[in-house]
Amino acid sequence: MRNLKLVLRYDGSRYSGWQSQKHDENTIQGRLTVLLERLLGETIELAGSGRTDAGVHALGQVANFRTKSDIACEKLFAELNRYLPEDIAVVSVQEVPFRFHSRLNAVRKTYRYRIWNSPVHNVFERKYVYALEEALDEEAMRQAAANLCGTHDFRAFSSYRRTKKSTVRTLENITIERQGSELILTFTGDGFLYHMVRILTGTLIEVGLHKKNAGEIKEILASQDRERAGFTAPAQGLCLVCVEYGN
């Protein structure tokens, strides 16, 4: 038995997210699993580093599965890219230690959110950015971002209604960078809750629009109340950039 690790990139525009669903076969995990089972002739349990939502993209999603097959990694890499649809690609296939798990062993993830901040439409990349015409106070957004960094209970920034699992996470860094008409928000942390990056982004946008102020962030965190945080930013602006693992 072998354990194989895949690094993937995909355009999530036409998919119902990463995770397979009983009544919806149009998922990234579902498409990959069906193809792997066809190529390898066995039942495959494909684990992903995390669940990207419907419409969310990835540059560096990581998955792994165990197989009895002795197929060479190079051959599987070629076969997967031959048969996958053009909006899903395998970047690498690698044999890893049997105990490796793409989700449980992840120590850090980085997400990027792109805001097209201009009255002129971004015609060619409209599926990958959130279009917002109003001017944003970037300095206020950076102040709010600084208040979000660190180890906190991020329950207010999650769409979980009820959960027994811990909602404490460490947000290592948030950068806000302007490149012409585009504002790029980058989030790095040890893990993210359901919709967390999109709610963080929506909250920072509301600060940038002066609908909230940077000083409210600590109060929102302490409240653990989803209603106190900002809106959930649209999925198309979000991309999973990379997943990191310890030695």
pLDDT tens readout for residues 53-68 = 999 999 999 999 999 9
pLDDT band (50, 70, 90) for residue 50:
very high
The token pair that represents 224 in the structure block = 């653990």
Q: Which two tokens stand for residue 71?
A: 């197929």
For residue range 23-33, list pLDDT tens digits in order.
667 999 999 99
pLDDT tens track for 170-204 = 999 999 999 999 999 999 999 999 999 999 999 99
Residue 76's pLDDT is what?
98
Q: What is the pLDDT of residue 208?
A: 98
> What was the pLDDT predicted at 161?
74
Of the listed 53, 70, 87, 225, which one is catalytic?
53
Question: Is-catalytic flag, 53?
Answer: yes
Q: Which residues contact 187 (CB under 8 A, 6 or more apart)?
A: 110, 111, 112, 113, 171, 173, 174, 197, 200
Cβ atoms of residues 115 and 237 within 8 Å: yes
Locus of tokens 């890893």:
96
Q: Provide the pLDDT for residue 24.
A: 65
To the nearest whole number, what is the mean pLDDT of the chain? 95
What domains lie within the chain, and their CATH numbers?
2-96 (3.30.70.580), 108-245 (3.30.70.660)
